Amino acid sequence: MSALLPPSERVWWKHPVDRVEWVWIVIAFIWCLIMFFMMPWWHVYGEQNYSGEAYKTTPEDFQRRVNAMVEEYEVRRETARNMPVVRPPAGSDVYLLARLWDWYPILELEKGQTYRFRISSADWQHGLSIQPVNINMQIVPGYEMVVNFTPTQSGEYALVCNEYCGVLHHAMLGKLYVVDGAGEGI
């Protein structure tokens, strides 16, 4: 009997296993053991754990904090959707609200400065992906996700929802401007 040919008899499990088959069974078993022990090891030592914090909140309370930030730091409005653009000071807490189907407000940050992003959802589960940097997280109503962010390049970044959130999910895009210290770079 071999792995390439069908068994000659119908009761194939009573035949001895070929040497080639044993080699592949052993290789597969060893690989399974490696993967089994690598998963917890990588979780602890692989620096892939969520580097932020999470707190319980309510959509109403978070909306109040977002509105307070917008009132204090608004610098202009984007005319296409009448969306406020806010420029909080470097090192401050920055509030970003996910709601059907946009990111509120548009942020304008300074290159090389660290900001503390506080992100929550007003309605459904969303996912935040900041492109082209590697920030990717789930945003759930009732929880405030906190992560530190230091933009290293000037320009326009895209905020993309990567969790299906309804019929206009594909249109849930936001903006994040990163400017040099002089305010240039948009």
Query: So what's the pLDDT on residue 183?
Result: 55
Cα separation, 105 vs 117, whole angstroms = 12
| Per-residue model confidence as pLDDT tens digits over 48-70 | 556 668 889 999 999 999 999 99
Torsion angle (degrees, nearest 10) of CA 157, 65, 81, 180: -30
pLDDT at 134: 78
Query: Where do the domains of the chain lie?
Result: 1-49, 53-179
State how beta strands 102-104 and 106-110 pair.
unpaired
pLDDT reported for residue 16:
82
User: Which one, of 71, 63, 112, lies nearest residue 88 by Cα?
Assistant: 71
CA-based end-to-end distance of the chain = 69
The C-alpha angle 151, 156, 157, rounded to 5 degrees, equals 60
Domain 53-179 has CATH 2.60.40.420: yes
Give me the residues of the chain with pLDDT under 70, please. Answer: 1-3, 7-9, 12, 47-52, 182-186
